[in-house]
């Protein structure tokens, strides 16, 4: 049963399992103690820190283990901001960061700080000039992911780091999605990562802070992990995390090449096999194992459910907001279609057969969902009006777009269809649908109930 | 090789190991996902929460899993204080709380709050009236451990909870040391615990917040664990924690009776076999598996080192400050001797043979350390002066007390010895030595360098 959501959590790497089990016997004691069990634990902890630091590309004393990638991000952002409090309270983040970074930014704003979001292009990438234009003398910290968790686009980290260095602003890089594939290049100041994304166990994050970066942890004092990560270290998990990072790195080049080929096949064939689909994210500068596409006239949750029934585990929308009704902030920032969104992220070892199986069932599953939603050929009736208005209030994604698609054939070329909708997703998906279809998106206007989105039929 | 420091970290319980290994296969996926791997993880998480809640004595929706006991305490203290911010900023803690609670109190004070420490008696226990007398209309939260981590004294939690309830103040109970032995009785509002103290894995804390208690987590938003514990849940460890809590509870009554007998033997025989020793902590209202004593004229770290060489792993002083030169805040608050301090905490399954072996080597080890430090019979010389002053500047514990013990025989009955010392430990240990020896502690006076401690020789 293929599991294609490794960007959310990867199954435990065999080396991680082995290291975890071995260190359950040797690594349960307090490494701060001086007796033999403590000394053994300390040796394991030191060795794990050295291995992880080597993989990150930093000194062991620059690296601490946290209980999760989220803790690493929260601690990293708050600590770096507090360390430069005298400089100012301005934080810069990209619009497509992981929710842990954006939530840390929200907390900073709630505490009186200011936050600027750097926009991305339609492929999901920031530009170095985008960062350069918003750094100012009060900027305490800039954050940028190494690669996007939802669409796989690799960010120009080294270039942004140069821009930040020129402005004297430290750069925090969230490397959660990429660290298993290789070290982050360029002059970052703070780096965060999460072990369960590379096949390590849950319960381990990495936080690296370069020497010389002002850093002030924002929680009660604790002697452990240089005061940067309170609480008893989960040593067996830390050992397993470090061992598996080394193991996946040893396999990374070959595995990346193999998975890149499989993902290329998905990108090409999805576009060919599924009507009305948009494959999103940069086709070249991207993670090797991840591809995302959106299907018009399809409800993402139903699509996931049907793919799950067919034996394929994939995710949809933002990795951390799939339970909400709002569209993924990443897709919104990119300005691409969000309805019927599917993220496929292949774990190491995924076979061509598994990918082929997925590509075989996908078109039928999408067609099935569309049939359930009543999507057929749009009515071929003669145009009845120059300016049609559809009441889609109360209808949820993808229904407003389905109604729009049905209606567009009933107005003459140059005529308009206005969709009245109170579904937040319509704001993103109606313009995206226009782009895909070649119609002109006229704009939106508030109404007493909902918003009116107007589209002009293409020539 | 007997390990007698289970109060610091317990070896993994066999049930924990079994549950951990089983759930590595079933519990690695994101429980928030809707596909089969996610649903399996969700089932495991729900079952673990129900089991843990039953052991704690709360509803499952009142309990969240944190990455450590320290995280549970930090989150619990900060969340409860923030939830009652409008009431005021007064926090009440006992003087013998775990450092995680005291550090959280320090952070609260640094942020502008006020903190009152409730004193303890010579056995290490607080009194309900001690809490009653310091609660005031601005008190937002009171904290009390269920049992002390260093000397084993059980606190009157139920009575203090009544006092707090009468004043309308929520009570946070740090149950780290006792939860494996049984639920905390009385009307607590917030409860914290740590799995690796009962034989569960590292990486799991418990935080229970009773319905109706105002609580406002003080970190960036996160959807997991009711917003009270950010980051990806370490599910295999959580499952192992819940399973092992259930298992140790099933064995608790019989094991407590067995270990209580062994600890009673240590209490009696240490006092008989080792000269100049003080067994501290309440002899009756105490944890079943833990005993602490202090040996005059002995350096704690050397003693631990020698016991380790003899095959016994024990700890000394405060569990979290053993690397510092200051005496344990617990022993200081109790006003008992801190030098040559040893904490013995027996893991379940400890045999009488192991304890007997420890009692056989201990007197020789203590005598050996004393011999190294030059402690012998005090000089039998005739009194030479009515008021002797000893310069012990620069000498570290236990040397100032050793010098004092040597000198006291050289003054007549009723004469005084004044020790000039710059070792912070002398302030605690010289009065404690007087209590043990029956001499009168006259008092201390500041000097340009160090402090002068004066003792009058007993009749």
- Among residues B191, B217, B248, the one where a domain terminates is B248
A70 and A189 assigned to the same domain: yes
B244 and B257 assigned to the same domain: no
Q: Assess contact for A439 and A459: CB atoms under 8 A.
A: no
- Integer Cα distance of B445 and B459 in angstroms: 24
- Integer Cα distance of A53 and B173 in angstroms: 38
Q: Exposure pattern of A173-193 as b/e (b: 16+ CB <10 Å)?
A: bbbbbbbbbebbebbbbbbbb
Q: Assign B64 a pLDDT band (cuts: 50, 70, 90).
A: very high
**Spatial CB neighbours of B391, under 8 Å, sequence gap ≥ 6:** B420
Beta bridge partners of A115: A91
pLDDT at A328 over 90: no
Beta bridge partners of A246: none
Rounded average pLDDT over A140-158: 98
pLDDT in tens, B151-210: 999 999 999 999 999 999 999 999 999 999 999 999 999 999 999 999 999 999 999 999
A277 and A356 assigned to the same domain: yes
B117 and B218 assigned to the same domain: yes
Quick check: B71 and A74 CB within 8 A? no
Quick check: B237 and A203 CB within 8 A? yes
pLDDT at B373 over 90: no
pLDDT in tens, B26-48: 899 999 888 999 999 999 999 99
Among the listed residues A237, A236, A207, the one whose alpha carbon sits nearest the alpha carbon of residue A80: A207
Instruction: Give the residue numbers spanning the domain of B218.
Output: 14-248
Percent of chain B with pLDDT over 70: 97
- Integer Cα distance of A95 and A127 in angstroms: 12
B408 and B275 assigned to the same domain: no
pLDDT in tens, B203-247: 999 999 999 999 999 989 888 898 899 999 999 999 999 999 999
Query: How is B154-189 classified by DSSP, letter by letter?
Result: BP-HHHHHHHHHHHT--EEEE-TTTTTT-PPPS--S
Count Cβ atoms below 10 Å from residue A137 Cβ, excluding itself. 10
Quick check: A230 and B74 CB within 8 A? yes
- Among residues B226, B248, B270, the one where a domain terminates is B248
A45 and A194 assigned to the same domain: yes
Backbone angles phi, psi at A173, to 5 degrees: -110, 120
- Integer Cα distance of B300 and A448 in angstroms: 76
Taking CA atoms, A73 is separated from A363, B102, B231, in Å, by 39, 26, 10
B99 and B165 assigned to the same domain: yes
**Per-residue pLDDT at A378:** 56
pLDDT at A228 over 60: yes
Q: How far A32 CA lies from chain B's nearest CA (Å)?
A: 8
Quick check: A196 and B12 CB within 8 A? no
Q: Assign A320 a pLDDT band (cuts: 50, 70, 90).
A: very low
Quick check: A234 and B67 CB within 8 A? yes
Taking CA atoms, A396 is separated from A446, B289, B434, in Å, by 18, 61, 80
Nearest chain A residue to B194 by CA: give it: A232
Q: Is residue B429 part of a domain?
A: yes
Q: Is residue A380 part of a domain?
A: no
**Per-residue pLDDT at B409:** 87
Q: Is residue B406 part of a domain?
A: yes
- More reliable by pLDDT, A283 or A373: A283
A160 and A267 assigned to the same domain: no
Q: How far A381 CA lies from chain B's nearest CA (Å)?
A: 41
Nearest chain A residue to B301 by CA: give it: A34
Q: What is the CATH number of the domain that holds B263?
A: 3.90.1150.10
Rounded average pLDDT over A176-189: 97
Taking CA atoms, A163 is separated from A169, A188, A206, in Å, by 9, 11, 25
Handedness of CA A8, A12, A14, A17 (dihedral sign): positive
- More reliable by pLDDT, A134 or B299: A134
Query: How is A187-231 classified by DSSP, letter by letter?
Result: --SEEEEEGGGTT--TT-EEEEE-TT------S---SGGGGTS-S
B221 and B347 assigned to the same domain: no
Percent of chain A with pLDDT over 70: 97
pLDDT in tens, B306-329: 999 999 999 987 433 445 567 789
Q: How far A314 CA lies from chain B's nearest CA (Å)?
A: 8
A141 and A41 assigned to the same domain: yes
pLDDT in tens, A345-388: 999 999 999 999 999 999 999 999 999 888 865 555 666 788 99
- More reliable by pLDDT, B108 or A300: B108
- Among residues A248, A271, A303, the one where a domain terminates is A248
- Integer Cα distance of A88 and A67 in angstroms: 29
**Per-residue pLDDT at B318:** 43
Among the listed residues B26, B338, B237, B40, the one whose alpha carbon sits nearest the alpha carbon of residue A233: B237
Lowest mean pLDDT among A154-168, A189-203, A323-337, A377-391: A377-391
The verdict on whether A58 is a catalytic residue reads: no
DSSP code, position B348: T
A270 and A349 assigned to the same domain: yes
| Touching A: B residues 231-260, CB under 8 Å | 231-237
**Per-residue pLDDT at A324:** 58
pLDDT at B98 over 90: yes
- More reliable by pLDDT, A247 or A321: A247
Tokens 């279609």 locate to A337
**Per-residue pLDDT at B338:** 87
Number of domains comprising chain B = 3
Quick check: B69 and A3 CB within 8 A? no
| Touching A: B residues 71-110, CB under 8 Å | 71, 74, 100, 103-104, 106-107
Count Cβ atoms below 10 Å from residue A222 Cβ, excluding itself. 21
Query: How is A290-346 classified by DSSP, letter by letter?
Result: EEEEEETT--HHHHHHHHHHTT-B-B-SSTT-TTSSSPPHHHHHHT---TTEEEEEP
- Integer Cα distance of B115 and B135 in angstroms: 11
Q: Is residue B3 part of a domain?
A: no
Among the listed residues B446, B370, B440, B432, the one whose alpha carbon sits nearest the alpha carbon of residue B406: B370
Structure tokens that stand for B448 in this block: 């340009």
Q: Is residue A270 part of a domain?
A: yes
A86 and A234 assigned to the same domain: yes
Helix (H, G, I), strand (E, B) or coil at B231: coil
User: B36-56 and B235-273 are packed helices; what angle lies between their axes, rounded to 10 degrees?
Assistant: 30
Structure tokens that stand for B291 in this block: 């005993």
Q: Is residue A1 part of a domain?
A: no
Q: Exposure pattern of A101-129 as b/e (b: 16+ CB <10 Å)?
A: bbbbbebbeeeebbbbbbebeebbbbbbe
E strand residue ranges, B189-340: 190-194, 205-209, 277-280, 290-295
Q: What is the CATH number of the domain that holds A53?
A: 3.40.640.10
**Per-residue pLDDT at B320:** 39
Beta bridge partners of A205: A66, A194
**Strands across the sheet containing B440-446:** B387-391, B416-421, B451-456, B440-446
| Touching A: B residues 6-35, CB under 8 Å | 8-12, 17, 20-21, 24, 28-30, 32-35
DSSP code, position B227: G
């Amino acid at each position: 049963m293929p599991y294609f959501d490794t960007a959310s959590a990867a199954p435990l790497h065999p080396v991680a399992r082995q290291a975890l089990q071995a260190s359950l016997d040797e690594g349960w004691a307090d490494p701060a103690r001086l007796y033999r069990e403590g000394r053994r634990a300390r040796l394991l902890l030191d060795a794990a820190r050295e291995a992880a630091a080597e993989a990150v590309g930093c000194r062991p004393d620059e690296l601490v283990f946290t209980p999760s990638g989220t803790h690493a991000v929260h601690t990293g952002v708050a600590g770096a901001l507090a360390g430069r409090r005298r400089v100012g309270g301005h934080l810069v983040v990209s619009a497509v960061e992981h929710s842990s970074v954006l939530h840390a930014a929200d907390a900073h704003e709630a505490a009186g700080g200011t936050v600027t979001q750097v926009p991305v292009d339609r492929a999901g990438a920031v530009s170095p000039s985008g960062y350069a234009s918003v750094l100012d003398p009060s900027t305490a910290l800039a954050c940028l992911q190494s690669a996007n968790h939802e669409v796989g686009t690799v960010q120009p980290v080294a270039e942004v780091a140069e821009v930040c260095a020129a402005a004297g602003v430290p750069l925090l890089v969230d490397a959660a999605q990429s660290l298993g594939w290789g070290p982050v290049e360029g002059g970052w100041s703070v780096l965060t990562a999460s072990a369960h994304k590379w096949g390590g166990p849950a319960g381990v994050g990495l936080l690296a802070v370069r020497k010389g970066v002002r850093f002030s942890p924002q929680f009660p004092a604790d002697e452990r992990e240089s005061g940067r990560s309170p609480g008893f270290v989960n040593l067996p998990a830390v050992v397993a995390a470090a061992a598996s990072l080394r193991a996946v790195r040893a396999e990374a080049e070959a595995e990346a090449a193999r998975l890149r080929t499989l993902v290329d096949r998905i990108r090409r064939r999805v576009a060919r096999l599924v009507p009305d689909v948009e494959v999103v994210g940069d086709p070249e500068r991207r993670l090797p194992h991840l591809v995302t596409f959106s299907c018009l006239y399809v409800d993402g949750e139903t699509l996931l459910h049907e793919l799950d029934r067919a034996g394929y585990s994939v995710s949809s929308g933002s990795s951390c907001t799939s339970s909400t009704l709002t569209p993924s902030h990443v897709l919104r920032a990119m300005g691409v279609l969000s309805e019927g969104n599917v993220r496929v992220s292949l774990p190491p070892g995924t076979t061509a057969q598994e990918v082929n199986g997925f590509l075989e069932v996908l078109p039928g599953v999408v067609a099935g969902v569309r049939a359930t939603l009543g999507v057929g050929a749009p009515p071929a009736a003669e145009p009845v009006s120059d300016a049609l208005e559809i009441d889609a209030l109360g209808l949820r994604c993808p229904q407003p777009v389905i109604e729009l698609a049905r209606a567009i054939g009933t107005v003459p070329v140059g005529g308009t269809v206005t969709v009245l909708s109170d579904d937040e997703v319509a704001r993103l998906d109606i313009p995206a649908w226009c782009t895909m279809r070649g119609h002109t998106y006229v704009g939106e206007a508030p109404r007493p109930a909902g918003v009116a989105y107007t589209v002009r039929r293409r020539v």
